[in-house]
Amino acid sequence: MADIQIDELDLGTSRSLWATAWLRLRKNKAAMVSLGVLIIYVLIGIFGPMMTPYGHDQTFRDFTREPASLERYPRVDEIVPAAERVVTRSRLQAEEIVLDGDTITITATSRREMDERVTRYIDRSDIFSNTRILEMSDDNLRVTMQADVNRYLFIFGTDTNGRDQLARLAIAIRISLLVGAAATVVALAIGVLYGAIAGFIGGMTDNIMMRIVDILYSLPFIFFVILLVVFFGNNVFLMFIAIGAIEWLDMARIVRGQTLSLRRREFVSAAEAMGVRPISIVKRHIIPNTLGPVIVYTTLMVPKVILLESFLSFLGLGVQNPLTSLGLMISEGSRDIQGTPYLLIYPALALTILLFALNFLGDGLRDALDPKDR
Amino acid sequence: MLFQPLKKTLQAATIAVACAGAVSAEVYMRGNDSDPETLDQHKTSTVVEANLLRDLYEGLVIYNTRAEVIPGVATDWTISDDGLVYTFNLREDARWSNGDPVTAGDFVFSLNRIMEPATAAKYANILYPIKGAEAINKGEGEGIEMGVRAVDDTTLEITLEQPTPFFIELLTHQTALPLHPASVEEHGDAFVRPGNMVSNGAYTLVSFTPNDKIVMQKNEMFHDAENVAIEEVHFIPFEDRANCARRFEAGEVHSCSDIAAEQIGDLRDRLGDRVRVAPYLGVYYYGVNSAREPFDDVRIRQALSMTMDREFLAEEIWSGAMLPAYSWVPPGIGNYVDEQPTLDYADLPMLDREDRAIELMIEAGYGPDNPLDVEISYNTSENHERTANAIADMWAPLGVNVTYQVRDASAHYAMLRDDKIHDVARAGWIGDYSDPQNFLFLNRADNPGFNYGAYDNPEYDGLLDQAAATVDLEERAQILAEAEAMFLRDVPQIPILFYSSKSLVSDQLSGWDDNIQNVHPTRFLSLSN
Amino acid sequence: MLRYIFRRLLGAIPTLFLIVTTAFFLIRIAPGGPFDAERALEPSVLANLNAYFHLDKPLYQQYFLYLWNLLQGDMGPSFFRRDFSVQELLAAGLPASITLGTLALLTAIVFGSILGCIAALRQNSWIDYTVVATATFGITVPNFVVAPLLALVFGVWLNLLPAGGWNGGAPANLVMPVIALALPQVAVIARMIRGAMIEALRSDHVRTARAYGLPTRMIVVTHSLRAAALPAVSYLGPAAAGLLTGSIVIEQIFGLPGIGREFVNAALSRDYTLVMGTVIVIAVFVLIFNLIVDILYAALDPRVRYE
């Protein structure tokens, strides 16, 4: 059974190759689930930040470090103390505070004369809005106000600045996917072109080009990345380039190997005999035919890049706030595991699921495209 | 074969069970912020080294556990009426760890060494009040004698350039510690190594393993050795403060010199009063580049300062590890007035401040329709980042658009010193000695290294000069307060928070008093089980 | 073979030279210098310091001075840690890094191989799935999450192991750092061995051996493992480099005196000579590892010959 498939692969046109691969992939349950998960992530990355109830940089000063909860904040028994705090912060003295469903009635006194602007103090809080004066004493030293109570849902909790972790998670997924994709594209572009050229031209050029790759392999690249980021600032763009610049080496080797074997194939010789320019041959015949292993390798590279980014974030060299990435959220969360575990758990879970999906999909694709090379 | 490592691991685990939590009571495991740059007192500049050198050496005067200046090698001293000549009587029983007596000549040798340009001492300028010191350190010292003289073995005379009321306080700094001339001559720069180092403090250096630990043992030659309770101290460097907290909870270290701000609340819940947070002599501020438009407009600077909700920053962003700052000089400082000048909106509710600030911005020509772009520069750190994020949020109602410029510490401070291309930049200052001058001098026009607000006010500089020439402490304090009031009116640098010292201190450790200088000499501490 | 090794070592010289030169100039174009800290220095003091460390000379002169000293085996004094020379700091940090790295690598190979074998022999059983899932988990959870969790659980809550510190490399202090460091590598190696083994089990010579009635265990050991080891060996070079990087985080979290931590501190404080020193040492390590890998490759695979 397996042998027949290999034959098909060897002989077949690209359409049947993709069709067969797709058929095989569909049989792989883990890979299909992973593909579904991945599509969900991409959708979250694109649309998530627009759909979360609060912005990723919106801060709620009344709700810092609130644990994840399906119940709305503030809890019912927290509303009156919150109102007391607001009154005190406005330099007023609370006389009576009555909570009735979603409205609160506050009676307060002041040593200075007040006017109708006093309601703004109450509105200022995230919790209360639409404050109106019910009664003002004649000497303007005593006021009764009524306000609506706003309650918020933070299903993943809030961080120290009072930012909704759900919104942060959505933007983090977007950034992490972007970093992963962008660095991969850089590595792909350099690696595929470099490898294809080296393999196609062959001979001395190939020797020299691969020797350079060998030398670059022995450079402690991660250290150069750290140096670059330390010296030239935390620039996301620079990070793509730096990470891409490390990862293209493997890609170049793989593509070169593929190209070397393709080089001896009939259709390449035929094209050459017909006088097609080498650059066109590389573009039309070589690169499309190396796509299989390249795609496999790419799915495995994305998780590597995302992890690398999180490593840089841990060292304080990654993405900068108010933007965030999964790695940054995890490294922030890991600083106080005991006090605020929910700041670690959800982003860690999100990253783990994403990486699981990418890994299983990569495995599945490898099995589907190239059953011999496991 | 294959199972060998597993077996090893199991063995290791068994051994571990036996030794975990086994911190010997005689050895004080002391967490420090990091490794020292050096143990050469003349080349040091940070509190990390101060903590170490305080145990190794004894200066003319020292701090006790409450950070009060008490006699050290000097038993007493007199000051001439013009405030220029200090005469110290040294104790007879002061000994170096090799048995040599500590003499006035040793101090003369040390103070001369730190000023030699060849020593390349980072913090030589702190002792510039001594006569001739500045000229010698700058290499202009041809034929100039330092104003330091050994009258006899136990009498030291120091002459100053001009009266310096905080001079005695200054001598508590590690740069004024003595060193043993014979070993410096014998070993050169290597006199700081274990085995070479001869010290006169309560402890002697046993070993120094980089990034691991520094071991010190009680110095039997020390004149007060009988009252030194702890036999051995290990100083452990912790760049990762969470690591220190974990090891503290596991019972492996007795004290931590710092706590990560985000952990304070949680640690307080679990460790109670073993978490020590005390006011500290330091200010956290934003320098507003007043040499640049539009920040040369005092209304804009005031508006920016007014809208900062310092209580929120201190309580929520820093989890109570900082105190709100409404003045430049930290409260509790020595040689100062009782009623310190403050920002005049300190007591106003936030909303009224915001109204005033919006008015000021409109007067200056800015508002939501014509937003002001401000770039906040800070050095890489999670806490600075969160502070900047929160402040940006507070400025939003003014119509201020904030962008961020993050550099690592070295690049950040190089920019502040040389290029000065910032709009608003974070910085912090920890006092070297307890005197308002040590804070106010940061804003002098002729102090480009620290004047991040580019403050250029001859009147202010004049007041500081006048204070420097005033011997009467009360009168001097009044003049300095006047200068601070002037500074707060102009706010070229916006004080935001005052630092606190944050420590974890084990119940086993006694004698650790919280104090404004955060000094805790090991010789005054003791361990119990 | 000896000639090959000699040629490779010779070839490493220009590589090293390239690394030294790039690193030297890369650090120098970075903003900030070794004496820029929260406390600005007096200009006169700064001048004294610059003169002391020859920073007042033109850059090219400093470069040649550095190269000249390096050729004589002198990496210079550390700019920031003034009581030590760079060699001394590296000598102090290397034992910890090497111990950690070697133990982690051995742990990864041993456990990775065992897990990989078990999974391959029980392909598509629940054991196989468990191993694959665990292995994937090892790759996906960053070690800066695993490390503090381990320290918290075993150090603080259970109080079984020290929560940090080096303690002269005592076994108890090594357990958690080694596990945290080895975990991702265990995962990679297990997956790799599993894949290679499944293929080897299907290959003709194993089938033949089975047909002759040789016991299964023998087949596994003699044929499959040998074939399966090839990809694992070629992975060792990058893995060694990975361990060096991983150890930066582990050293920081457990407070261990290795050169990874030294490197990060040096880069942040612009300790030019110390950065250079760590970069050189790490580059040498990577070069040596690549060489070892190539030699092992030749030993395992009769088709590869070095002339």
Distance CA B415, CA B430 (A): 20
Q: Does A54 contact chain C (CB < 8 Å)?
A: no
- Residue A45 tokens, joined: 């990355």
CB C126 within 8 Å of CB C229:
no
Contacts of A89 in chain B (CB under 8 A): 349-350
User: What pLDDT does A335 receive?
Assistant: 80
Residues of chain B with pLDDT under 70: 1-25
CATH of the domain at A114: 3.30.1360
pLDDT of residue B368: 84
Residues A51, A81, single domain; the answer is no
Whole-number Å distance between alpha carbons of B58 and B41: 11
Q: Output the CA–CA distances (angstroms, integers) from residue B193 to B183, B197, B464, in the order listed.
A: 11, 6, 42
Residue range(s) defining the domain that contains residue A95 = 75-150
Q: Residue B195: helix, strand or coil by DSSP?
A: coil
Band (pLDDT 50/70/90 cuts) for residue C307 is: very low
**A164 interfaces chain B, CB cutoff of 8 Å:** no
Tell me the per-residue pLDDT of C63-81, one tens digit each, with 9 for 90 and over.
999 999 999 989 988 988 8
Q: Is the pLDDT of residue C140 over 90?
A: no
Res C291 pLDDT > 50: yes
For chain C, domain boundaries: 94-259+273-300
Q: Select from B139, B239, B246 the Cβ nearest to the Cβ of C156.
A: B246
Instruction: Tell me, yes or no, whether A138 and A260 share the same domain.
Output: no
d(CA C41, CA B286): 20
Cα gap B369→B358, rounded to integer Å: 12
Q: Which residues of B111-127 are buried (b: 16+ CB within 10 A; e: fewer)?
A: bbbbbbbebbbbbbbbb
Q: Residues A112, A170: one domain?
A: no
- The encoded tokens of residue C37 equal 């800290």
**The two structure tokens encoding residue C305:** 């010959």
Residues A334 and A203 in one domain: yes
SS3 B381: coil
Q: Is residue A6 in some structural domain?
A: no
Q: Say if the Cβ atoms of A334 and C148 lie within 8 Å.
A: yes
Ordered per-residue pLDDT tens for chain A, 374 residues = 334 344 444 444 455 667 777 888 888 888 899 999 999 999 999 998 988 888 888 888 888 888 888 888 888 888 888 888 888 877 788 888 888 888 888 888 888 777 777 887 788 788 888 888 888 888 888 888 888 988 888 989 888 888 999 999 999 999 889 888 888 888 888 988 898 888 888 788 888 888 788 777 766 666 677 777 766 666 677 777 777 877 888 888 888 887 877 777 778 888 888 888 888 887 777 777 777 778 777 877 888 888 888 888 877 777 777 788 888 898 888 888 888 889 989 998 998 899 888 888 887 887 777 644 43
Residue B213, pLDDT score: 92
Interface of A with C in 221-280 (CB under 8 A): 222-224, 226-228, 230-232
Superfamily grouping for domain B279-501: Dipeptide-binding Protein; Domain 3 (3.10.105.10)
In a domain, A63, yes or no: no
The answer to whether A362 contacts chain C (CB < 8 Å) is no
DSSP string, C263-299: HHHHHHTT-HHHHHHHHHHHHHHHHHHHHHHHHHHHH
Q: What is the pLDDT of residues B97-147, one digit of tens each?
A: 999 999 999 999 999 999 998 888 888 888 999 999 999 988 887 778 899
DSSP state of A338: T
A111 and A85 both lie in a single domain: yes
Contacts of C23 in chain A (CB under 8 A): 224, 227
CA B281, CA B499: separation in Å to the nearest integer?
7
In this structure, the answer to whether residues A116 and A201 fall within a common structural domain is no
> Comparing B314 with C19, which gets the higher pLDDT?
B314
All partners of chain A with 3 or more CB pairs under 8 angstroms? B, C
The residues near C175 (Cβ < 8 Å, ≥ 6 apart) are B9, B12, B13, B16, C161
Confidence category of residue C235, pLDDT binned at 50, 70, 90: confident
The reply to whether A79 and A21 lie within a common domain is: no
CB proximity A128 to B under 8 Å: no
How many C-beta atoms lie closer than 10 Å to residue A237's C-beta?
A: 8
- Cα Rg of chain C (Å, integer): 24
Please indicate, yes or no, whether residues A172 and A283 belong to a single structural domain of this protein. Answer: yes
DSSP-derived secondary structure for B503-516? EEE-TTEE-----T
Tokens of A18: 């993709």
With vertex at residue B386, the alpha carbon angle to CA B385 and CA B391, rounded to the nearest 5 degrees, is 100
Q: Which of B76, B34, B59 is nearest to B114 (CA)?
A: B59
Q: Which of B2, B9, B35 sits opposite C175 (nearest CB)?
A: B9
Boundaries of every domain in chain B: 12-254+506-527, 279-501
Enumerate the H helices of chain C as residue ranges.
Answer: 2-29, 43-52, 59-71, 86-121, 126-140, 143-150, 171-202, 204-211, 216-219, 225-254, 259-268, 272-300
- Domain match, A272 and A178 both: yes
Tell me the chain C residues in contact with residue A311 when contact means C-beta distances shorter than 8 Å. 142, 144, 245, 249
Q: Which of C19, C31, C278 sits opposite A231 (nearest CB)?
A: C31
Q: Do domains B12-254+506-527 and B279-501 have the same CATH topology?
A: no
Q: How far apart (Å, rounded) are the C-alpha atoms in residues B408 and A346?
A: 29
Shared-domain flag, residues A245 and A368: yes
CA distance B482 to A88: 33
Q: Which CATH architecture has domain C94-259+273-300?
A: Orthogonal Bundle (1.10)
Q: Nearest 5 degrees, angle CA A237-CA A240-CA A243?
A: 145
Q: Which of B242, B523, B294 lies closest to B423 in space, CA to CA?
A: B294
Within this chain, do residues A318 and A356 fall inside the same structural domain, yes or no?
Answer: yes
CA dist., res. B423 & res. B403, Å (int): 10
Same domain, A256 and A165: yes
Q: Is the pLDDT of residue C296 over 60?
A: yes
Asked if C32 lies within 8 A of B40 by C-beta distance, the reply is no
B9, burial (CB in 10 Å: exposed 0-12, middle 13-18, buried 19+): middle
Look up the CATH number of the domain holding residue A183.
1.10.3720.10
DSSP string computed for A78-120: HHHHHHHHHHHHTT-EEEEEEEETTEEEEEEE-SS---GGGHH
The dihedrals phi and psi of B233, each to the nearest 5 degrees, come to -120, 135
**Tell me, what DSSP letter sits at residue B260?**
-
Residue C137: pLDDT band with limits 50, 70, 90: confident
Closest A-chain CA to B267: A339
Residues on chain B touching C175 (C-beta within 8 angstroms): 9, 12-13, 16
For chain A, what is the domain count? Answer: 2
How many angstroms separate the CA atoms of B196 and A353, rounded? 57
Q: Which residues, 6 or more positions from C17, have their beta carbon under 8 angstroms from its beta carbon? A: none
Residues whose CB falls within 8 Å of the CB of residue B494, separated by 6 or more in sequence, listed in order: B285, B286, B287, B288, B301, B304, B305, B308
Q: Could you please report the per-residue DSSP string of B424-446?
A: EEEEEEE-SSS-THHHHGGG-TT
* Average pLDDT of every residue of chain C: 82
Q: Which two tokens stand for residue C69?
A: 């000293």
pLDDT band at residue C190 using 50, 70 and 90 as cut-offs: confident
User: 3-state DSSP: chain B helix, strand, coil percent, rounded to 5?
Assistant: 35, 20, 40
- CATH topology (fold) of B12-254+506-527: D-Maltodextrin-Binding Protein; domain 2 (3.40.190)
Q: Are C40 and B20 a contacting pair at CB < 8 A? A: no
Residues 6+ apart with CB under 8 A from B419: none
Is any Cβ of chain C less than 8 angstroms from the Cβ of A314? yes
Nearest CA-CA distance, residue C117 and chain B, Å: 13
- Distance (Å, whole) CA C119 – CA A27: 21
Strands B74-79 and B424-430, bridge-based pairing: unpaired
Q: DSSP assignment of B317-374, as one string?
A: ISTTSEEE-SSSSPTT-SS--SS----TTTTS-HHHHHHHHHHHHHHTT-BTTBPEEE
Using pLDDT thresholds of 50, 70 and 90, give the confidence band for residue C244: low
ipTM for the whole complex: 0.86
Whether C304 and C113 have beta carbons less than 8 Å apart is answered as: no
Q: Specify the pLDDT at position A231.
A: 66
Alpha carbon of residue A164 to chain centroid: 16
Higher pLDDT, C105 or C218: C105
